[in-house]
Structure 1
């Protein structure tokens, strides 16, 4: 017996739900039946794809790689048997925050005019490269370090850095600040999407007092006076709060903004998306 569509659907449901029982309810099968289907799949591919525990299931390294292939296979099958009147799969663009910054509005306005057949989905996700590997998104907007050799990429533009400070902070009235000005203050760092690494020598580096994993937590800690934040300039438009001020950080290197996608990305609108974004940036 080879791998069938039901095996792939069972695996993808379990991976998405993180639970055999929830995946079984989603697929309307019994839990033992789903477990047997997953065991059959693992025997066929010769690898353990899911790690079971009392908390549920999580993907192994082999499972993460297989998820991308399974998603592509199911998508291809669905497209092959779908009615020609069914809507094509949307182009899914992942970003940690801010999407394409000041170019986002132009993209949203232009895309449906030039490509009404493909809906554009902007998805805010925490781990962009994991989602690319899982084929949960087709392309990602990445800020900071250049994507690794496993991904194709295009450098779009660079964003200046700002300091986010509580409105009552002693630096709040400054027209701008420098990295040296910040050395004696505490920092609030977003570990999921932050871009503050390697700005200081070790001897001058401020203390990281709070680490968070979301933009909302980052803003809340800064507003409460837990420390200062450093961020690219779209934050001053996207995350305005009366208790936070943004100050230009005049001697810090700008943040590079890339598009990154795996070589296996095969969405038919991907090439046109790259062209439109590059045109928007260059204009």
Structure 2
């Protein structure tokens, strides 16, 4: 059995879709063929790359690391196979939580109108650096301070925080919510790429942490189940609406800075143009 580029494509598609059946439909393959191809890949690398459950599939820790390599390999292969040597590959925009919130669609629409020959590929990656240090992305939208060397950042906007409350909570009936109101409720936090920790409650009582997660999917699942509440940037409500969660403004919570971050050695020819366009869109919308 020979593992080839088609195995990597199938693996990346399964992660993008979060489901083997959806990956099969997208690739016009039988579900059994997709499962077999993924199993062949895992046997070849001698690691379990995907966690499988009734809800779908998600990458293991090894799978997340392998994903960056697979994506880079597929991108390089596609670039090499293009007949147009002057074609510019897609600009990859990484994010771990909520992209640019309500500005996202306008930024992408404006880019497509002005630069129809250069595709922008939005990629959600469970990585605090938005896929930058792994080479998975060219620029990242980040809400936590950058920690890697050789990274540059540009402040895009300041974003208010909201409380994520399970349906039926007494908090949903309050006319105004402040941080002290949340202190008596257990907290669900994303310790991997989230923006909330107990330091947010500087004075008085602090909430207890009910559970720590490393993806927004798990974060929402625990909140919807009533395990705890969450505090999150307002864009979460736009990017990840949930029928069993209410997002309510918090009056006294400090805003979250949203940055565009990129590696100083990134040579993508469209990088600077995209950064400037995003800044222009935000400035025009907020005027």
Specify if TM > 0.5: yes
How is 1:154-233 mapped onto 2 (pairs within 5 angstroms)?
Answer: 154-197=154-197, 198-201=199-202, 204-233=205-234
Residue of structure 1 in register with 2:277 after alignment? 276
Map 1:43-122 to 2 at 5 A. 55=47, 75=76, 82-84=82-84, 87-122=87-122
Distance change >3 Å, CA 182–CA 87, structure 1 → 2: same
Matched, 1:264 2:265: yes
Stretches of structure 1 that go unaligned for 5 or more consecutive residues are 1-8, 32-51
Give the secondary-structure state (helix, strand or coil) at the position aligned to 1:133.
Answer: coil
- Counterparts of 1:128-167 in structure 2 under 5 Å? 128-129=128-129, 131-167=131-167
Larger CA Rg, structure 1 vs 2: 1
For structure 2, the residue ranges without an aligned partner over 5 or more in a row are: 13-36, 50-60
Aligned length: 238
Seen in structure 2, the aligned counterparts of structure 1 residues 270 and 193 have a Cα distance that, compared at 3 Å, is same
Deviation at 1:149, TM superposition (A): 4.5
Change (3 A) 1:200 1:89: same
> Does the Cα contact within 8 Å between 2:93 and 2:141 map onto a contact in 1?
yes
Residues 220-259 of structure 1: CA deviation (Å, up to 9, x unaligned): 2112111111011112233333432222111111000001
Secondary structure class of the residue paired with 1:126: coil
1-structure distance, mates of 2:282, 2:228: 33
Normalising by the residue count of structure 2, what TM-score does the alignment of the two structures yield?
0.70
1:272: Cα distance to partner?
Answer: 0.5
CA RMSD of aligned residues (A): 3.7
| Structure 2 Cα separation of the partners of residues 174 and 199 of structure 1 | 21
Distance apart, 1:213 and its partner CA: 2.1
> Structure 1 residue 166: deviation in Å?
1.6
